[in-house]
Amino acid sequence: MKKYFKPAALLVLLVMICSVFSSCNALDEMRKSHAFWNNEDKTEILYNGEVYKKLSGSEDFLITDHIGYSNGYAYVTEKDVPLLLSDLLGTWIDIYHDGKLLQVGYQDSYYLESEYDEYLEKIKNTKFDKFRVFNSFSEKYELLSDEDSQIIIDIITQSEIVEITNYDFVYLGEIWRCDADMYFVSEKFELLKDPDGYYLGIGYTEYCYKVPEEMTERFEKIAKAYFIDWYYE
Amino acid sequence: MVKKLIKHEMLFYLRTLLPAELILLGMALLVRFVQFFESDAVIYDIVAISSIVTYVIAIIVCVVMMFITGLTRFYKNLYTAEGYLSFTLPVTHSGHIFSKLFSAVAVSLITALVIGVSLAIATAGEVFSEIVKAGNYLFKMLFDYTGVHGVLFIIEFIVLVIVSLSTGYLLYYTCITAGQMAKKNRVLAAFGIYFGYYFVCQTIGTFFMIMTAIFNEPIARLMENIGLFAETHPIATVHIFFISVIIFDAIIGGVYYFLTHLIMKKRLNLE
């Protein structure tokens, strides 16, 4: 037994020494998705060597890229949180716009500091005067024509708001108020249907606009053009 | 004399378990060695996963061996031909049970330590340093949040582990001892007693579940009050939890010890 002790101890020592100089791919990957709060009031994030600044009032709108085009994810923690606890103690970040935009949680957005002012300017000058839909057939976002957009505006301005109490509603799809480039979106409307007709659900609330009978035909054209009608499938 | 018995018990365990634990350390070393060649190649994945699987198997084998050795040692040393020699020693029945229990629990803790060391070897370097950092941070969080209570939690946890291990071993000692009352097939009888005990425990558990369903309202109210207390006194709740489980385990363990001792002394013709 004793004669094996020295070679065994030597082998252990050798492995230990080599271990100091070797790296681990899994840890490197984790390191890539570990971001840090850059200041105490959490208005800045340090990620991948770049500083990201919080978009003030970013909770008032959602950005197109937020929906379905995430470039990856990361976790943001305080600077002293060890790597292995980053996912446990950190807050989830979705990365958008080729790594320029970070969305933390569901509301707060942070933009790359070097392009922050330019981006902010773009937001300020944005006019949400168009509507876009996710076409269920082509599986792409499409801008509604001016004529179709006007129907939506007419419904919003002219029809009564009712509470969603009927569980026979069938969800057909979503319509978003957006800018002409479909880059920014603001309000979300859900297209609902029941035996009595069509409804436009308001965002994440329990209320909706009931599509008036005189507009139903025009509205149905939009519904049939963009959404698979699960109601009669 | 009990000290000498414990010494011999430990020597026995050393002879039996040392090779397995050395193999475990060797497997850990192999896992670490394979990681030096980390790459995206499929062959690396196959070798790395195989080495990790072998390492995990080695851990399981070590734990199972430790457990089985603890029980067979108790059985062979006291209830087979060896027992005639054991009971000629100037040691009481309590001394025998205690020496076996003490060494089995000690060996369990040593095995846990060896598994810890093997993990340190398998993750040596950057990963291990990150594990240490994470551990330190969690301890810091614990002490920041609970202050001195953190130390008490750790002590309570260690006591709970020792008491639970002892109770676990004592249950099997009781079953083995009770099995010796059978005229034939004593080992089989010990298994039968264990499964009978398990069946009774399950029946009692089911009965309590049925009672819980029948008296749903008062139990829900009780749970709500406990939840409220836990929310307002979180630190006290953890202490109460640890201490009550320790006391419960200790009482059950005491009953097993008493039964083992009683059967050994009164019902078995061992001397």
Residues B129-141 have pLDDT tens digits of 899 999 999 999 9
Residues A54, A139 within the same domain: no
- Residue with the bigger pLDDT between B196 and A14: it is B196
Do the domain assignments include residue B138? no
Quote the ipTM score. Answer: 0.71
Do the domain assignments include residue A177? yes
> Sorting pLDDT into bands at 50, 70 and 90, what band is A180?
confident
Strand A72-77 relative to strand A34-37: parallel, antiparallel, unpaired?
Answer: parallel
pLDDT beyond 80 at B94: yes
Residue B41 in contact with partner chain A when CB distance is under 8 A: no
Q: What secondary structure, in 3-state letters, does B45-84 show?
A: HHHHHHHHHHHHHHHHHHHHHHHHHHHHHHHHHHHCHHHH
Residue B15 in contact with partner chain A when CB distance is under 8 A: no
Residues B221, B266 within the same domain: yes
Phi, psi for residue A211 in degrees, rounded to 5:
-70, 120
Measured between beta carbons, the chain A residues lying within 8 angstroms of B138 are 85
Do the domain assignments include residue A183? yes
Do the domain assignments include residue B253? yes
CATH number at residue A142: 3.30.1490
What pLDDT was estimated at residue B58? 94
Measured between beta carbons, the chain A residues lying within 8 angstroms of B33 are 15
What is chain A's mean pLDDT, rounded? Answer: 81
Measured between beta carbons, the chain A residues lying within 8 angstroms of B134 are 82-85
Residues B109, B3 within the same domain: yes
> Sorting pLDDT into bands at 50, 70 and 90, what band is B271?
low
B135: number of Cβ within 10 Å: 13
What pLDDT was estimated at residue B260? 92
Per the structure, the count of domains in chain B is 2
Residues B61, B179 within the same domain: no
Residue B129 in contact with partner chain A when CB distance is under 8 A: no
Q: Structure tokens of A185?
A: 């979106």
Q: Please tell me the distance from the alpha carbon of residue A105 to that of residue B218, in angstroms, as a whole number.
A: 40
Residues A39, A120 within the same domain: yes
Per the structure, the count of domains in chain A is 2
Residues B259, B209 within the same domain: yes
Do the domain assignments include residue A1? no
Do the domain assignments include residue A30? yes
3-class DSSP state of B172: helix
- Domain containing A204 equals 130-226
Chains A–B, number of C-beta pairs less than 8 Å apart:
48
Domain boundary among B62, B92, B124: B124
Q: Please tell me the distance from the alpha carbon of residue A69 to that of residue A185, in angstroms, as a whole number.
A: 14
DSSP assignment string, A130-175: EEEEEETTTTEEEEPPHHHHHHHHHHHHHSPEEE---TT-EEEEEE
Residues B74, B173 within the same domain: no
Share of chain A above pLDDT 70, in %: 88
Residues B157, B264 within the same domain: yes
Residues B101, B59 within the same domain: yes
Q: Any residues with CB less than 8 A from the CB of A159 and at least 6 apart, and which?
A: A200, A209, A210, A211, A212, A215
Facing residue for A85 by CB, picked from B33, B35, B137 = B137
Residues A118, A179 within the same domain: no
Do the domain assignments include residue B142? no
Residues B16, B80 within the same domain: yes
Do the domain assignments include residue A157? yes
- Domain containing B256 equals 147-271
Residues B4, B44 within the same domain: yes
Do the domain assignments include residue A231? no
Q: Please tell me the distance from the alpha carbon of residue B32 to that of residue A19, in angstroms, as a whole number.
A: 8
- Residue with the bigger pLDDT between B61 and B84: it is B61
pLDDT beyond 80 at A20: no
Do the domain assignments include residue B141? no
Q: What secondary structure, in 3-state letters, does B106-148 show?
A: HHHHHHHHHHHHHHHHHCCCHHHHHHHHHHHHHHHHHHHHHCC
Do the domain assignments include residue B129? no
Residues A209, A135 within the same domain: yes
Do the domain assignments include residue B157? yes
Distance from CA of B156 to the nearest CA of A (A): 25
Residues B113, B175 within the same domain: no
Domain boundary among A68, A102, A124: A124
A224: number of Cβ within 10 Å: 11
When pLDDT is averaged across residues A18-26 and rounded to a whole number, the result is 74
Residues A155, A196 within the same domain: yes
What pLDDT was estimated at residue A204? 73
Q: Please tell me the distance from the alpha carbon of residue A107 to that of residue A122, in angstroms, as a whole number.
A: 19
Do the domain assignments include residue B134? no
Measured between beta carbons, the chain B residues lying within 8 angstroms of A10 are none
Do the domain assignments include residue B51? yes
Q: Please tell me the distance from the alpha carbon of residue B190 to that of residue B174, in angstroms, as a whole number.
A: 9
What pLDDT was estimated at residue B104? 94
Residues A115, A142 within the same domain: no
Q: Structure tokens of B162?
A: 């020792």
What pLDDT was estimated at residue B158? 95
Residues A116, A175 within the same domain: no
Residue A72: C-alpha distances to residues A24, A58, A89, A101, A104 (Å): 21, 20, 19, 11, 12
Residues B115, B154 within the same domain: no
A162 within 8 A of A205, measured Cβ to Cβ: no
Strand A62-63 relative to strand A130-135: parallel, antiparallel, unpaired?
Answer: unpaired
CB neighbour burial string for A85-103, b if at least 16 within 10 angstroms, e if fewer: bbeeebeebbbbbeebbbb
Do the domain assignments include residue A193? yes
Residues A156, A117 within the same domain: no
pLDDT beyond 70 at A14: yes
pLDDT beyond 60 at B151: yes
Residues A56, A140 within the same domain: no
A76: number of Cβ within 10 Å: 25
Do the domain assignments include residue A69? yes
B78 within 8 A of B97, measured Cβ to Cβ: no
